[in-house]
Amino acid sequence: MKPPTRRFSLSSLALSLSLLFTIPPPSQAVSNSDSSVPERLSSTFSELREQGFAGFVVVAKDGEIIFADGAGLANAETNRPFTLDTQIDTLSITKTFTGMVAAQLITLGDLSPSDTLKDFFPDIPSDKADISLHQLLTHTSGFVSVLGSDTNEDDQETFLSQAFSSALLFEPGSDYAYSNVGYSIVAVLIEKVTETSFEDHLIDAYLSPAALTHTGYMRAYDDRLAAHDVRMRSLIDASWGGHSPNWHLMGNGGLVSTPREMISWLASYSRGEIVSPEAVALAHQPHVLEGEGASSHYGYGLVVEDHPEYGQIFWHNGGSRHFNSHWREHADHGYTLFVTTNAHTVSADMASLAMEAALFENDFEIRPRIRRLSDPVALPDTAFGVFAQKFLDTVAQESPLIWQNFIDTRLSENMLSHASRDQYLETFQTLHNDFGVATLIGWKSKENKVILVVQRPDSGESMRIILDLDDLLSPNYLTSFDVRSG
């Protein structure tokens, strides 16, 4: 089985994170004895807890919950445990909701997969004019993954200005690249045809009729129920910046829900009770292969995978530095899983695969992400080495004045034209929080890029920082940067 790999936005500007781990192959054929399933799930969950999992797991059979349990604390400050009704961040699983709404509007005739951006924005730049709704929904539009911080307060106009002035990764329709930006634009189109806000339409037309009262954005948020991250920051602070979610999140991430409502929604959605069966079928089609050599396809807001033993699986995940969530539906067996966590020692992705293996009586090795710390290395005393060290030193300092100086003297004019200095200050704050005290354990240069590998001392987690410089031989300006796991 191909490892789940999903690009998702972080709470920082122009950052992205790829989650990738290797899954051992199933050791035996699927047997799925219903009478012993709860016992196997309970045993596996106990092992997850022992390995450091903190969060909640819920498993349903034909829509009925057969297992639900939590570990760790949803709020360490108040000693509040995880429960079925803990409000969590669904992160990029938000795209499944957006894909559902878009599919329903298509079947109603309010939208068409062939609708293009020029149909809604007559003055859009020519390179983006013919991008279709279908391409936005299937990550084949060419838009980049992330343009702005999850935690600032950019409105729709600011977001669209950044999106329409950004460079495309490829000719629309010619390739696949996971894009949060594309799904936020889908949310904009939904607002245009429904003449209401994306959140209001989602809640009033789909969620409220299904009695889902704790799923949404600010209308649904309840601080008394919400999970906190390991630094004891509330969900609204960690995920949204302490205010309503901005347009770098809308439609692509940041939606809140509870484990109980996620399982209920997934069952109702797949049965054609929230939207029409035609909309379900449209969203669940394997529209586009997820990159060259991939074994899975992307539908509208979800992944479609045909497993040689488990049969057809629909799934999506999402993550940030604060939270991680994952849902999986086994269409041929009637099982649905939802896992969420506020710690990364054992991710929701790994926990969901462990519970999946328990369903089908297969072995699975749970591997915590605590790793041995590596020995530090030094950058060379060259132009690119000096620049890279300056970047790391700047991130390590919790000083807005130092960050401001780097922004003013080291960012290219192109970068400064796409975001304000305040937004970049937010970015450096997030970078400092995420890996400001990390150790450099490796580096290499490639063309006009410098690739740094740093390791967090608290978890041993490694990250790659990719710096794009305007001139490798005499670098003076940073033209872009990217942060990835592993």
- The reply to whether 289 and 161 lie within a common domain is yes
- The reply to whether 405 and 472 lie within a common domain is yes
Q: How many domains does the chain have?
A: 2
Residues 6+ apart with CB under 8 A from 3: 20, 21, 22, 23
- The reply to whether 331 and 388 lie within a common domain is no
- The reply to whether 406 and 459 lie within a common domain is yes
Residues 6+ apart with CB under 8 A from 165: 125, 417, 418
Q: CA-CA distance, 256 to 385, in Å (whole number)?
A: 42
What is the token pair recorded at 425? 């200050």
Domain boundary among 369, 394, 423: 369
Q: Is residue 195 part of a domain?
A: yes
**Torsion angle of alpha carbons 232, 233, 235, 237, nearest 10°?**
180
What pTM did the predictor assign? 0.77
Q: CA-CA distance, 124 to 201, in Å (whole number)?
A: 26
- The reply to whether 187 and 263 lie within a common domain is yes
**pLDDT over 90 at 54, yes or no:** yes
Q: Which residue range is the domain that position 480 belongs to?
A: 383-485
Nearest C-alpha neighbor of 321 from the set 442, 441, 461, 419: 461
- The reply to whether 113 and 201 lie within a common domain is yes
Range with the poorest average pLDDT among 60-69, 272-281, 436-445: 436-445
Q: Is residue 183 part of a domain?
A: yes
- The reply to whether 364 and 392 lie within a common domain is no
Q: Reduce the DSSP state of residue 192 to 3 states and report it.
A: helix
The rounded mean pLDDT for the chain is 88
Q: How far apart are the first and last CA of the chain?
A: 20
Span 184-213, pLDDT tens digits: 999 999 999 999 999 999 999 999 999 999
Q: Is residue 51 part of a domain?
A: yes
Span 77-111, pLDDT tens digits: 999 999 999 999 999 999 999 999 999 999 999 99
Q: Is residue 171 part of a domain?
A: yes
Q: Is residue 378 part of a domain?
A: no
Domain boundary among 343, 369, 395: 369
Q: Give the pLDDT confidence score for residue 4 in this predicted structure.
A: 38
- The reply to whether 315 and 411 lie within a common domain is no
- CATH number (domain holding residue 178): 3.40.710.10
Q: Reduce the DSSP state of residue 295 to 3 states and report it.
A: coil
- The reply to whether 328 and 410 lie within a common domain is no
- The reply to whether 256 and 345 lie within a common domain is yes
Q: Give the pLDDT confidence score for residue 448 in this predicted structure.
A: 83
Percent of the chain topping pLDDT 70: 90
- CATH number (domain holding residue 388): 3.10.450.50
Q: Give the pLDDT confidence score for residue 457 in this predicted structure.
A: 63
Span 306-340, pLDDT tens digits: 999 999 999 999 998 889 999 999 999 999 999 99
Q: Are 225 and 69 in contact (CB under 8 A)?
A: no
Q: Is residue 146 part of a domain?
A: yes
Q: Is residue 375 part of a domain?
A: no
- The reply to whether 455 and 431 lie within a common domain is yes
pLDDT band with cut points at 50, 70 and 90 for residue 433: confident
- The reply to whether 138 and 202 lie within a common domain is yes
pLDDT band with cut points at 50, 70 and 90 for residue 473: low
